[in-house]
């Protein structure tokens, strides 16, 4: 995709998010093809946003059922319209899931357990404090062999892995929003350990991103 990079805008329906999603979807799909169950299973996406990722991935896994979710219910119509447009009949209707509100984690609109959960490009614009809720929620919803995949740019033990990631962090920080900026993988590991999960795999991805695979200890 040769589209010019739009101005930074973290809103899930923005041109910037669509541009970023188009850049990263193929490498993430490659990881999912390796990691997702080869037989039946259910997959939850946290913070689905516009629904562009789940609607891109689902047709590649016709044996799996996908469940979008988000804190912001205003994006639900967009998710559902994309599912209709792409004839994705293995995607359920989106459900309200707020990682800061445990009462939303056990929603009658979704199953009690999942083979996998994924969350894409959320931590650079979300407070690290949601990591605790994400890990606790995942510990309740994942089946015994399930995994949580978190994708995005991160610092490693306090260090930026590339100069471009440092520049991206500085750009985010300059917006004046306290929670914007690259978070540290070490903080995700600490949150995971509190809830019986651990980092199983750290996969280097294009554009200086990571796919972090968490599972039960």
pLDDT digits (tens, 9 = 90+) for 58-116: 999 999 999 999 999 999 999 999 999 999 999 999 999 999 999 999 988 889 999 99
pLDDT at 134: 97
Section 191-210 average pLDDT: 96
Section 5-24 average pLDDT: 64
User: How do 114-120 and 142-152 pair as beta strands?
Assistant: parallel
How far is Cα 166 from Cα 121, in angstroms, rounded to an integer? 16
Section 117-137 average pLDDT: 93
pLDDT at 178: 79
Section 118-141 average pLDDT: 94
> Is residue 200 helix, strand or coil?
strand
For residue 68, give the nearest of 50, 41, 86, 87 by alpha carbon. 50
Query: 8 versus 185: which is more confidently predicted?
Result: 185
pLDDT at 1 exceeding the cut of 50: no
- For residue range 179-190, list pLDDT tens digits in order: 888 999 999 999
Specify whether the CB–CB gap between 184 and 125 falls below 8 A. Answer: no
Section 165-179 average pLDDT: 82
pLDDT at 3: 57
In sequence order, what are the residues at sequence separation of 6 or more whose Cβ sits closer than 8 angstroms to the Cβ of residue 93? 76, 80, 109
How far is Cα 132 from Cα 193, in angstroms, rounded to an integer? 10
pLDDT at 76: 97
Section 44-60 average pLDDT: 96
Q: Tokens in use for 93? A: 């209707």
- Percent over 70 (pLDDT), the chain: 90
pLDDT at 189: 98
For residue 204, give the nearest of 154, 167, 144 by alpha carbon. 154
- Percent over 90 (pLDDT), the chain: 72
pLDDT at 179: 85
Section 25-50 average pLDDT: 96
Query: 124 versus 213: which is more confidently predicted?
Result: 213
């Amino acid at each position: 995709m040769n589209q010019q990079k739009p101005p930074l805008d973290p809103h899930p329906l923005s041109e910037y998010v669509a541009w970023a999603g188009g850049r990263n979807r193929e490498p993430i799909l490659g990881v999912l093809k390796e990691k997702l169950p080869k037989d039946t299973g259910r997959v939850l996406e946290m913070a689905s946003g516009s629904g562009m990722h789940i609607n891109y991935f689902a047709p590649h896994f016709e044996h799996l059922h996908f469940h979008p979710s988000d804190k912001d219910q205003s994006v639900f119509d967009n998710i559902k319209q994309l599912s209709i447009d792409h004839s994705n009949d293995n995607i359920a209707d989106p459900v309200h899931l707020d990682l800061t509100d445990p009462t939303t984690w056990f929603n009658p609109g979704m199953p009690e357990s999942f083979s996998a959960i994924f969350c894409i490009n959320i931590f650079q614009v979300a407070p690290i404090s949601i990591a605790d809720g994400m890990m606790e929620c995942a510990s309740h919803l994942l089946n015994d062999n399930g995994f949580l995949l978190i994708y995005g740019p991160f610092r490693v033990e306090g260090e930026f892995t590339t100069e471009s990631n440092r520049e991206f962090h500085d750009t985010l920080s300059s917006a004046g929003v306290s929670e914007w900026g690259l978070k540290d993988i070490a903080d995700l590991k600490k949150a995971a350990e509190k809830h019986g999960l651990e980092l199983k795999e750290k996969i280097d991805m294009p554009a200086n991103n990571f796919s972090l695979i968490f599972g039960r200890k």
